[in-house]
Amino acid sequence: MRASPARSLAIGFAAALVSGAAFAQSCPTPKTMTFQVASQVKRDVLGFTQGLEVRGDKLFESTGMIAGTTRLTTIDPKTGKVTVLNDLGRRFFGEGLTILKDQIFQLSWQEHLAFVYDLNGKLVRSMRNMHDGWGLTNDGTNLIFTDGGDQLYYVNPADFRILRQVSVRSGSRPLPELNELEMVEGKIYSNVFMTWEIVRIDPRTGCVEATANLDGLVDRMTAEERRHMGSDINFVLNGIAYDSQRKVFHITGKNWMSIFTGRFVDQ
């Protein structure tokens, strides 16, 4: 059936709106960052790192249950000594971690739970998460998590109720598989799952501002480390923690031996 002139005009106007909306959603081309390594430490007990955060003079870590169990640990960034605060065994697959107002929040992957601990690692309560759990951070008020897609979900830390969500884009394309998250001075740094890429996101717009390729870290590993990392496709880059006092990042991977300390520099 042929459309009437009025209908054709309406269709054209709607198409223009859609086109304009798509244009408005496009982001500037991301800048390039480099990660400049200042130091490196080997941990004494390996862990399948899913979440990493600095608190005081310690790194707090959430591990998944590949090559181990789901644990909440601390790591001394100077010596690499690992201390287990809580071990959930193999009942849950641990994911992202963040610390907000003296409480530790840890996601599980497909069990759809978020655990809340005190700073000593004692489990205080749990909350229901209707999505899969991937990365987790906070903005000082709300928790922010990902579920494997291209969305940043802002949730109430009291009950994990979703308050709003932001679509993440690199240029004009959605950017899915956002994994470990770290909020740093109003920007979110995120691993892109199964890649060597870390991106910096403006959470107000969802635009990726800058990207860094960290495959150069392999050159700083021993032959033993490289063999270990190559023994399992799951042993990928994952783990971003920011020390706001020293202004440095701690970067690692899943079941990696080394934790690298350094800074991201825009090119």
Average pLDDT, the chain: 92
Mind listing the pLDDT tens digit for each residue in 243-260?
Answer: 999 999 999 999 999 999
Average pLDDT over residues 5-21: 37
The more confidently predicted of residues 8 and 96 is 96
CB 171 within 8 A of CB 178: no
pLDDT tens track for 126-181: 999 999 999 999 999 999 999 999 999 999 999 999 999 999 999 999 999 999 99
Q: What is the pLDDT of residue 21?
A: 37
Spell out the residues 6+ positions from residue 154 whose beta carbon is closer than 8 angstroms to its own: 139, 142, 143, 144, 162, 163, 164, 165, 166
Report the pLDDT value the prediction gives residue 253, as an integer from 0 to 100: 98
pLDDT 10s digits, 56-112: 999 999 999 999 999 999 999 999 999 999 999 999 999 999 999 999 999 999 999
The two three-digit tokens of residue 256, written as one number: 């990696």
pLDDT at 11: 36
* Residue-wise pLDDT tens digits, 200-219: 999 999 999 999 999 999 99
pLDDT tens-place string over residues 40-58: 999 999 999 999 999 999 9
In which band, very low, low, confident or very high, does the pLDDT at 18 lie, cut at 50, 70 and 90?
very low
Q: How many CB atoms lie within 10 A of CB 211?
A: 17
- The separation between CA 39 and the C-alpha centre of its own chain, rounded to angstroms, equals 22
The burial of 201, by beta-carbon neighbours within 10 Å (0-12 exposed, 13-18 middle, 19 or more buried), is given as buried
Number of H helices, E strands in the chain: 2, 22
For β-strands 49-55 and 151-155, DSSP reports them as unpaired
CB-based contact 219:40 (threshold 8 Å): no
Looking at the predicted structure, is the pLDDT value of residue 10 above 80?
no
pLDDT at residue 75, rounded to an integer: 98
Residue with the two structure tokens 């987790």: 136
Ordered by start, the domain boundaries in the chain are 29-266
For position 55, what pLDDT does the model report? 97
Q: Residue 24's pLDDT is what? A: 45
SS3 221: coil
In CATH, what number does 29-266 get? 2.120.10.30
Question: Which of 81, 11, 9 lies closest to 45, judged by CA?
Answer: 81
196 pLDDT more than 50: yes
What is the pairing mode between strands 207-213 and 31-42?
Answer: parallel
Q: Which residues contact 263 (CB under 8 A, 6 or more apart)?
A: 35, 36, 38, 247, 248, 249
Q: Is the CB of residue 261 less than 8 Å from the CB of residue 77?
A: yes
Q: Which helix (H) or strand (E) holds 102?
A: none
